[in-house]
Structure 1
Amino acid sequence: MAVEIERKYLIDLEKLGTLKNANRIKQGYITTNKDAVVRVRVKKDKGYLTIKSSNIGASRLEFEYEIPLDEANEMLDKLCQKPIIDKNRYIVDFANHVWEIDIFYGDNEGLVIAEVELEDENEHIELPLWIKEEVTGDIKYYNSNLMSYPYNKWK
């Protein structure tokens, strides 16, 4: 069984410093409901189809499959709900963990989230100084919800 254990945080970009080597990600959702989401993602020159269950704490089932890039782009264009999530992802190594920093664009411009994947939900992690607040259990920060209720509508 493929289980993803992930914690999400808001960050202070001024404390983070310079980020390098962005990966542009565009992703959309074919379906979202209380039990699962089906996501299409284009990252660099590859396409992915991902199925995720709903969260139980910081854990959920996740199944991801590489698909042809042209098919992923066609799914984003013709099958996915709008707006498409558009973000740059940066990888930051800190205290034996890999942090993914997402800076959002489009309807989610201004939102910056850090995610860290864990081996165990109770695993201890050292938080970098640039962490402001944990938002792991707050569903409005899930990418699938950012599509239906984007950050630019929060204010």
Structure 2
Amino acid sequence: MAKEIERKFLVESSDWRPAVEASVSIVQFYLAISSERSIRLRISDGRKAKLTLKFGSDLAARDEYEYPVPLAEARDMMQFAIGTVIRKVRHHVRHRGYLYEVDVFNDTLDGLVVAELETPDRVASDMLPAWLGREVTGEVRYSNASLALNGYPERPS
């Protein structure tokens, strides 16, 4: 088991794009969602699937367990998805030694770009990249589970 500690930010510019190290296309969906736990299936690049169980109500620090799932079975289970199936491209961007995962959402969430930073230490504000916008850590409406159930929290103007 790994304790997940993460910060989440809206992304307000595309200045991160030149620093992309890798990208992966993700299709993810939820089989169960409650305020204190979720069961998610994620298919990466159409080649591999992973089941993730998350426990705890603190969005910044939860207990997380992950298991590989046969791809065909993951695709079959998509019919049991709760809410919307999320489609996004995750870009890995390094800034000052920290790895940011920048998710560019597609389909019904088109236009939403969110960056996550998982690290054991608190990164000082002056160490954060300028392309980050407002921090939304702990805002339930920006959790992937909430996005699947409720859609886009606020459209840009």
* 4+ long deviations beyond 2 Å: 13-22, 54-57
- 1:56 Cα shift? 2.3
Residue equivalent to 1:97: 98
Look up the SS of the partner of 1:91 in the other structure: strand
Matched, 1:142 2:138: no
Residue equivalent to 2:16: 16
Alpha-carbon distance between aligned partners in 1 of 2:128 and 2:58, rounded to the nearest angstrom? 22
Query: Relative to structure 2, which stretch is displaced further, 48-57 or 85-94?
Result: 48-57
Residue equivalent to 2:134: 133
Alpha-carbon distance between aligned partners in 1 of 2:57 and 2:34, rounded to the nearest angstrom? 12
- 1:20 Cα shift? 6.3
CA RMSD of aligned residues (A): 1.7
- 1:57 Cα shift? 5.7
Number of residues of Structure 1 aligned to a counterpart in Structure 2? 151
Residue equivalent to 1:124: 123
Alpha-carbon distance between aligned partners in 1 of 2:25 and 2:59, rounded to the nearest angstrom? 28
Look up the SS of the partner of 1:14 in the other structure: coil
Alpha-carbon distance between aligned partners in 1 of 2:26 and 2:112, rounded to the nearest angstrom? 15
The normalised TM-score by structure 2 is 0.88
Relative to its length, the structure with more strand (as a share) is 2
- 1:119 Cα shift? 1.6
> Which digits, 9 at most, give the CA deviation of each residue in 1:2-26, with x for residues without a partner?
2100100011233334456431100
Q: How does 1:14-93 map to 2 (within 5 A)?
A: 14-18=14-18, 19=20, 21-44=22-45, 45-56=47-58, 58-76=60-78, 78-93=79-94
> Which digits, 9 at most, give the CA deviation of each residue in 1:66-99, with x for residues without a partner?
11111111112x2211310000000001111110
Unpaired runs of 5+ residues, structure 1, are none
Unpaired runs of 5+ residues, structure 2, are none
Percentage of identical aligned residues: 34
